[in-house]
A = this chain, B = another copy of it.
C-alpha cells in the first residue's frame, strides 16, 4: 500500500540509530540533513526519492535496498 516503503524506511533508520545510541540530532548531523527533516523521515512522513535513500545508505555504509526491507 502506498506509503508503506517510507514507513519501513523510517522504522529501519530509527532502529539503526537507536542500536548505536545516537540522538536524532547526532543522526541528522551524520546524514547531513536538518533535525526536523530527520524526525519526519523516521516517522515515515517523507516520500523520499530513490537517490535520497541511496545518499542516506551511502552515509551509513549499508546497501540502499536493505533500508526498504522489513
Chain A residues close to B by CB (< 8 Å): 1-6, 9, 47-51, 53-55, 58, 64-65, 68-69
Contacts and interface: CB of A to CB of B under 8 A. Distances in A.
Stoichiometry, as copies per complex, reads 2
B2 A58 contact: yes
A1 B54 contact: yes
A47 B50 contact: yes
A65 B2 contact: no
Contacts of A64: 4-5, 68
A65 B3 CA distance: 12
18 contacts: A1-B54, A1-B58, A2-B51, A2-B54, A3-B54, A4-B54, A5-B50, A5-B51, A5-B54, A6-B51, A9-B50, A47-B49, A47-B51, A50-B50, A50-B53, A50-B68, A64-B68, A68-B68
